[in-house]
Structure 1
Amino acid sequence: MTIRRRRSALYMPASNARAIVKARTLDCDVVILDLEDAVAPDEKAAARDRVVKAVREGGFGERELVVRVNGLDTPWYADDITALRSIGVDAVLVPKVSSVADLIAVCASLGEDGPPIWAMIETCAAILAFPALSAAAAETRLTALVAGTNDLAKEMRCRLGADRMPLIPALTTTIMAARAAGIVALDGVCNALDDPARFTAECLQGAMLGFDGKTLIHPSQIDAANEGFGPSEDELAWARTIVAAFSAPENADKGAIRLGGQMVERLHLAEAEATLASFG
């Protein structure tokens, strides 16, 4: 079993041809070509054409290729969706998904054979709609929830500090909703480009909360995200120890074993196997 890494998901402006070329060389796990916030209104059409050309040309290697479209209520949404239906993107990221009706509309517009959907969670309505959104994930091809922390903080009118304390309930609820649906959860961006210590702290916090990775706004953030959301060498070694212990004949039928002074259960074995499948 191979589990896709999503430690670092880098937004790249679709209006910048050089940025798209550079994205093919970076050590991020996911490239998100952005047609929304990073593109001025008068550049939307040209940026869309540039994305279609880049996707068809390929060259992104093992990086997951996602395109963020403009919102459902914008004049560019329909053309974005039409352009992306069948060109081979790994997923379409949709801003401000706030209800099951939004998901159903996106899924229908992409067609039966369209790509998976990633949903930006950046409204209070979305947080309150999580039970329904999780339940609808399979039928709507929803495969990831992406925290939109900037817009969510704006709508909440909260005052964010380095600890992101006002957003913690929303972030943990996002993770729980993703896990309930069996899908991916990505943390929001950090705007503090000149404060690498703060970014590193956010990565460690996001990983501690349970996110699979973090969305990024600059290539300089990739290494810290990969390190923060990837297992350490000690964690990999421990995972191998767990797998080896349960593989021993004397433990074949045991639900739990004593290992390294700890009680290790088969749920820990499943976690170890998943870690090694992705990083081992």
Structure 2
Amino acid sequence: MATGRELYARMRSVLEVPILNDKFWSKVPTVPADAIMVDLEDSATPTTKSLVRERVIAELGDPKHFGGRHVIVRVNNLDTLWGRADLEALAEAEGDFLVCYPKVDTAEELAEVSAILRAGRAPRGLHVMIETARAVQNLDAIAGSEGVHGLHFGYVDYASDVGSRAFDESGADLYGPANHFARAAISVAAAAHGLFLTGGSLIPEYKDLEKVERFVRVWADTGYTACIAVSPAHLPVINSVMTPSGSEVEAAREVCGSYEDAVKQGAPAAVLNGRVITLPDYRVAARLMARAAHPGDGEK
């Protein structure tokens, strides 16, 4: 069975869209995003939660507006007044989508989420947001839970939970002493369990695209496979940073070719330019080529 990382290997960018904002929602068919995240949590006020849920369910049943992209629906946590109703409604909803579950603390909590979703029409994969200190402590169990396809580091909520600064003095990276451990640990857990992994593009000066690019590049360099954009203006930056360069693709192609030739000849490894190429090297190169073979911005 394919892992979440394999299923979503070509997903680089996710645009978060508030469904009640007609100006933003009308742009969904044309934005250069690989996935659309429809939000029932942060962008919905307590008085609009039910209305947002009804609108989302209706749109899921008529997926043309999403233009063939991956669809992710972020619900409210079970500890809120709306979380269970969100999950029960999505369990019966039509369409092909992932459920994004925020502020998880334990694997037991995810088991309850999965049980609610399993009672509906079809199994739903989970994109789980790591946003609390307890979640970081329970990372391996959370990442290994049934139905989890992806993780996300919610760095602002995490900093709030820990009581630390979120950003460093430059405003283009996280505050290191408090956040670098969690960012790296989440990357390791996602890789170990074969999950796709998202960071975010939200920084204090979010209109400064040079700073946004520096911020997104750290996600890519840390092993994150995609990034959630808070603005359509961030999508070209994210797509560029998260797409392997031409030189990287050519190098990966050489690694794959050399290893495959060696295996055909019965050798356990290859030698390319004086460097030993083993199976793990081959897997890394093959995954990079899969990510590079993108059909075009905004296409699934």
Q: 1:185 to 1:62 in 2, by over 3 A?
A: same
Whichever residue aligns with residue 25 of structure 1, its letter is T
Give the alignment partner of residue 116 of structure 1, picking from 93, 106, 125. 125
Q: Which has the higher helix share?
A: 1
Whichever residue aligns with residue 94 of structure 1, its letter is Y
Distance apart, 1:40 and its partner CA: 1.4
Given that residues 262 and 270 in structure 2 are in contact (C-alpha distance below 8 angstroms), is that contact kept between their aligned partners in structure 1?
A: no
Whichever residue aligns with residue 176 of structure 1, its letter is V
Q: Which residue pairs with 1:95 in the alignment?
A: 102
Deviates more, 1:248-257 or 1:197-206: 248-257
Q: Which residue pairs with 1:130 in the alignment?
A: 139
Distance apart, 1:243 and its partner CA: 2.2
Q: 1:261 to 1:106 in 2, by over 3 A?
A: same
Distance in 1, matches of 2:262 and 2:225, equals 33
Give the alignment partner of residue 15 of structure 1, picking from 7, 15, 20. 20
Instruction: Answer yes or no: is 1:150 the counterpart of 2:162.
Output: no
Q: 1:256 to 1:9 in 2, by over 3 A?
A: same
Q: Match of 2:47, SS?
A: helix
Q: Which residue pairs with 1:181 in the alignment?
A: 193
Distance in 1, matches of 2:118 and 2:62, equals 23
Q: Match of 1:185, SS?
A: strand
Q: Match of 2:48, SS?
A: helix
Give the alignment partner of residue 75 of structure 1, picking from 81, 94, 98. 81
Distance apart, 1:250 and its partner CA: 8.2
Q: Match of 2:202, SS?
A: coil
Given that residues 186 and 214 in structure 1 are in contact (C-alpha distance below 8 angstroms), is that contact kept between their aligned partners in structure 2?
A: yes
Deviates more, 1:3-12 or 1:121-130: 3-12
Distance apart, 1:265 and its partner CA: 2.1
Give the alignment partner of residue 200 of structure 1, picking from 213, 229, 246. 213
Given that residues 239 and 275 in structure 1 are in contact (C-alpha distance below 8 angstroms), is that contact kept between their aligned partners in structure 2?
A: yes
Give the alignment partner of residue 225 of structure 1, picking from 214, 238, 246. 238
Whichever residue aligns with residue 253 of structure 1, its letter is G
Deviates more, 1:160-169 or 1:212-221: 160-169
Distance apart, 1:249 and its partner CA: 6.5
Q: Which residue pairs with 1:169 in the alignment?
A: 181
Distance in 1, matches of 2:263 and 2:45, equals 64
Distance apart, 1:110 and its partner CA: 0.9
Whichever residue aligns with residue 82 of structure 1, its letter is E
Give the alignment partner of residue 254 of structure 1, picking from 267, 274, 281. 267
Q: 1:262 to 1:249 in 2, by over 3 A?
A: closer
Q: Match of 2:27, SS?
A: helix
TM-score (norm 2): 0.86
Q: Which residue pairs with 1:27 in the alignment?
A: 32
Q: 1:158 to 1:250 in 2, by over 3 A?
A: closer
Distance apart, 1:68 and its partner CA: 0.4
Hey, which bits of structure 1, 4+ residues long, moved more than 4 A?
none
Deviates more, 1:222-231 or 1:175-184: 175-184
Gaps of 5+ in 1: none
Give the alignment partner of residue 243 of structure 1, picking from 247, 256, 273. 256
| Matched pairs, number | 277
Distance in 2, matches of 1:265 and 1:58, equals 43
Whichever residue aligns with residue 131 of structure 2, its letter is E
Give the alignment partner of residue 57 of structure 1, picking from 62, 75, 80. 62
Distance apart, 1:251 and its partner CA: 5.9
Q: Match of 1:236, SS?
A: helix
Whichever residue aligns with residue 132 of structure 1, its letter is A
Given that residues 243 and 291 in structure 2 are in contact (C-alpha distance below 8 angstroms), is that contact kept between their aligned partners in structure 1?
A: no
Distance apart, 1:246 and its partner CA: 2.8
Instruction: Answer yes or no: is 1:234 the counterpart of 2:247.
Output: yes
Whichever residue aligns with residue 38 of structure 2, its letter is L
Q: Match of 2:124, SS?
A: coil
Distance in 2, matches of 1:66 and 1:250, equals 40
Q: 1:17 to 1:51 in 2, by over 3 A?
A: farther
Identity of aligned residues (%): 27
Q: 1:19 to 1:53 in 2, by over 3 A?
A: farther
Deviates more, 1:7-16 or 1:187-196: 187-196
Distance in 1, matches of 2:41 and 2:262, equals 55
